[in-house]
Structure 1
Amino acid sequence: MKLWVAAALLAATPAFASDCILDNCADQRPAASSRASAPDDAGRFRPRGTAPSGDFDYYLLALSWSPSFCANGGAERSRRQCAPGANPGFVVHGLWQQYARGAAPPCDGGGLPSGVLAGLGDLYPDEGLARHEWRAHGACSGKSPSGYFADVRAARDAVTIPPELKDVRQSLTLAPLDVQRAFVAANPRLRPGMMAVTCPRGALAEVRICLSKDLRDFVACPEVVRRGCFSQSMVVPAGR
């Protein structure tokens, strides 16, 4: 996609007062209650006071560029992820429910069973992140913990990381469009209007890819695209 096409897509997308930084999205929909989660009549997990389970339009898979996270204070929060020599590259940040016009209402779920947590070491770079993602997103998915994280794994496995971004040993300077093109080339069914690159502070932070609720297809998500980074260049820090 040429830059002028991306600009046209931005211009054609309605502006909203809300905005997102990582998974903190301001949205006009009512916030969820902070009361504890409980299974509904079908045995699905849903915090009381939230929208009905499954009431969203598509999923957003957020893949975080770990070297940027570690370079901006992440090493103090996740020693395992940022340990010398770890160099994990892209890691799962989250799988989030989205409306066509914004994020799903905030979720405030309960704790994550230790038996489920024990099987997530290869999916999330840090146990604390896995717990947070269950409380903030998974508990409102309408699925059990094991079912939700099976979906996270399926979403991650559905996306091919471009070879040139798997093992970056020297810092690069790229345009966000270059990263987008690399993902499109590595994933034949993916199109530019189905993903976004974020680059706060001039460095690659995340690649966000939109997937159907059944995780079988990539889907168009103009609001996610609108919030992407369209700078001329950004730094892609190398792993440690």
Structure 2
Amino acid sequence: MKALSLIPLMAALWPVPALPDDIAGDFDYYVLSLGWQPGWCRATGDKRDAPDCNPGSGRDFAVHGLWPQYERGWPDYCKTAERDPSRRDTQAMADLMAPGLALYQWRKHGRCSGLSAAGYYAALREAAEAVRIPAPFNDLGRDIALPPALVEDAFIEANPDLTRDGITVTCKAEALAEVRICLTRDLEPRACAPDARRDCSRPQVLMERIR
């Protein structure tokens, strides 16, 4: 009995191999995330008086981030020798995303790209500018509800290089949250890995206009 009682103590003292850190530049593909801005404004932005939530702000789909992915899972907060972006660098992204979000995306995801901050922001901009937002979703005049598959169809019609396996629609409660597009490391469309291919399971998603 005394020998058995030592087992938990020995297990606690025995060195456990540390999990390896995610390595900057070691990933398989990217996910470009486009957030539905009116939904974010209703849930969060309006409480913060976010400028992007003002009527006429011109952003219905806003860039959320460009995320390095593994074929299963994803890296984040990687160690890198690259310097963090300056305030000027993040301010220069203001036409795509709030500067605070730009900094956060660099720290969590950009460091894992293996690029410099400037290189990551350039890749993010290139990826975002290559995607055409379907015309019906620009400056939405009224609230609409539609199946997630129709949101995918609209993006594929506007971007013929995309396929159903390469685009994912997510929701939060009843509202559309994000459209996520999978891209190669060279920013070309590709199929999402199975763990990144989970569409919203609701029969319809709400797309609100900015009020």
TM exceeding 0.5: yes
Deviation at 1:138, TM superposition (A): 0.9
Deviation at 1:78, TM superposition (A): 5.8
Give yes or no for contact 1:62–1:94 (8 Å, CA) kept in 2: yes
Distance 1:51 1:235 in 2: 36
> Per-residue displacement from partner, 1:125-175 (whole Å, max 9, x unpaired)?
x22111111111112211111110000001101111111111212000100
1:135 is paired with a residue whose SS is helix
Q: 2:119 matched to which residue of 1?
A: 147
Deviation at 1:220, TM superposition (A): 0.7
Query: Which of 70, 83, 94 is the aligned partner of 1:121?
Result: 94
Assess, with a 3 A threshold, how the Cα gap between structure 1 residues 85 and 167 changes in structure 2: closer, same or farther: closer
Q: CA RMSD in A?
A: 1.9
Give yes or no for contact 1:75–1:81 (8 Å, CA) kept in 2: no
Structural mapping, 1:3-82, within 5 Å: 50-77=21-48, 79-82=50-53
Distance 1:233 1:132 in 2: 31
Give yes or no for contact 1:170–1:237 (8 Å, CA) kept in 2: yes
**Structure 2 stretches of 5 or more lacking a match?**
1-17
Pick the structure with greater CA Rg.
2
Q: 1:157 matched to which residue of 2?
A: 129
Q: What one-letter code is carried by the residue in structure 1 that aligns with 2:74?
A: A
Deviation at 1:108, TM superposition (A): 6.8
Give yes or no for contact 2:24–2:78 (8 Å, CA) kept in 1: no
Give yes or no for contact 1:87–1:239 (8 Å, CA) kept in 2: no
Q: What one-letter code is carried by the residue in structure 2 that aligns with 1:223?
A: D
1:136 aligns with 2:100: no
1:190 is paired with a residue whose SS is coil
Q: 1:207 matched to which residue of 2?
A: 179
Give yes or no for contact 1:202–1:235 (8 Å, CA) kept in 2: yes
Give yes or no for contact 1:197–1:207 (8 Å, CA) kept in 2: yes
Deviation at 1:51, TM superposition (A): 2.9
Distance 2:203 2:159 in 1: 23
Distance 1:143 1:189 in 2: 26
> Per-residue displacement from partner, 1:203-227 (whole Å, max 9, x unpaired)?
1110000000011x211113211x2
Q: 1:43 matched to which residue of 2?
A: none
Q: What one-letter code is carried by the residue in structure 1 that aligns with 2:170?
A: T
2:44 is paired with a residue whose SS is helix
Assess, with a 3 A threshold, how the Cα gap between structure 1 residues 78 and 100 changes in structure 2: closer, same or farther: farther
**Structure 1 stretches of 5 or more lacking a match?**
1-29, 32-48
1:112 aligns with 2:85: yes
Q: What is the count of residue pairs matched by the alignment? A: 191
Distance 2:52 2:21 in 1: 33
Deviation at 1:231, TM superposition (A): 1.8
2:206 is paired with a residue whose SS is strand
Assess, with a 3 A threshold, how the Cα gap between structure 1 residues 115 and 122 changes in structure 2: closer, same or farther: same
Give yes or no for contact 2:36–2:178 (8 Å, CA) kept in 1: yes
1:166 aligns with 2:134: no
Give yes or no for contact 1:194–1:209 (8 Å, CA) kept in 2: yes
Q: What one-letter code is carried by the residue in structure 2 that aligns with 1:121?
A: A
Q: 2:74 matched to which residue of 1?
A: 103
Q: 2:63 matched to which residue of 1?
A: 92
